[in-house]
Amino acid sequence: MTSKFLRSLAVLSLICGLTIFGVTTSAFTQTGSDAPAAGAAASPATSAKPPMIPTGTGSKIGTINIEQAVVGSNEGQRDFAALQKKLEPKQTELKSQNDELESLQKQYQTQSDKLNDEAKATLMKQIETKKKSFDRSVQDAQEDAQNQQKEIFQRILQKMAPVIVKHAQDSGFAMIIDTSNPWPQSPILWYGEGGDITKAVVDLYNAQSGVPAPAAAGTTPKPAAARPAAPKPAAPKPN
């Protein structure tokens, strides 16, 4: 049970399974000069539709993985790593709550046959109360982590949007499609690597932002495809 909980602690880390990237991509519904300026206020998350630049003057169709671009940028790596560090105390707190709950459950399982009905009922009530408190703490922690991750993602995306638009226009693209979500989550059935501009955009954005690359390689947070279930330690049933 503890190992299951520890795996679920990923909801509070940057390599968690929260669907944090269902953010608005309204920055791409405008063209060239109408694109939002860097630092523009983020809109509330709505639906994860693939962003497009429909009025380019070129003739090519390109692709970009928005998730990889934002999270893989120097700024994204820095800010998501800082958030992960910030959330570590909450992880420790949740682990402590889970350990306490498991201890009570083990006590019930090993001593229930030695307890009278009143003592068993008291212990069961204590377990149920702590489980409800733990589940609520996990839910609150998930929501808090998700909101903070969305804020970071949207803030960087708003600043990256003009870079994507300019690069697409300069490179002769008529349209850029987001490939962050595979089919059938998105309408894109297949695409080749030749028209992908993700790396080029990341390089351009890194140069513009001036944020240095992280010292340690291989620490880029990887967005997961689905939200993991919150830990639910099963309360023992009385005999």
Q: What is the 3-state secondary structure (H, E, C) of the chain?
A: CHHHHHHHHHHHCCCCCCCCCCCCCHHHHCCHHHCCCCCCCCCCCCCCCCCCCCCCCCCEEEEECHHHHHHHCHHHHHHHHHHHHHHHHHHHHHHHHHHHHHHHHHHHHHHHHHCCHHHHHHHHHHHHHHHHHHHHHHHHHHHHHHHHHHHHHHHHHHHHHHHHHHHHHHCCEEEEEECCCCCCCCCCCCCCCCCECHHHHHHHHHHHHCCCCCCCCCCCCCCCCCCCCCCCCCCCCCC
Q: What is the 3-state secondary structure (H, E, C) of 49-76?
A: CCCCCCCCCCCEEEEECHHHHHHHCHHH
> Of 56-60, 63-67, 228-232, which gets the smallest average pLDDT?
228-232
- Say yes or no to pLDDT of 137 above 90: yes
Q: What is the pLDDT of residues 173-214, one digit of tens each?
A: 999 999 999 888 888 888 888 899 999 999 999 999 999 999
User: What does pLDDT average to over the chain?
Assistant: 76
- What's the whole-number mean pLDDT along residues 62-84? 96
- pLDDT of res. 182: 87
141: pLDDT confidence band, cut at 50, 70 and 90? very high
- Say yes or no to pLDDT of 108 above 70: yes
- pLDDT of res. 57: 60
Percent share of the chain, pLDDT over 70? 66
- What's the whole-number mean pLDDT along residues 138-163? 96
Q: pTM of the entire structure?
A: 0.66
- The domains of the chain are located at 2-209
56: pLDDT confidence band, cut at 50, 70 and 90? low
- Say yes or no to pLDDT of 223 above 70: no
- What's the whole-number mean pLDDT along residues 32-39? 39
Tokens of 197: 């501009």
> Of 16-30, 91-105, 121-135, 208-222, which gets the smallest average pLDDT?
16-30
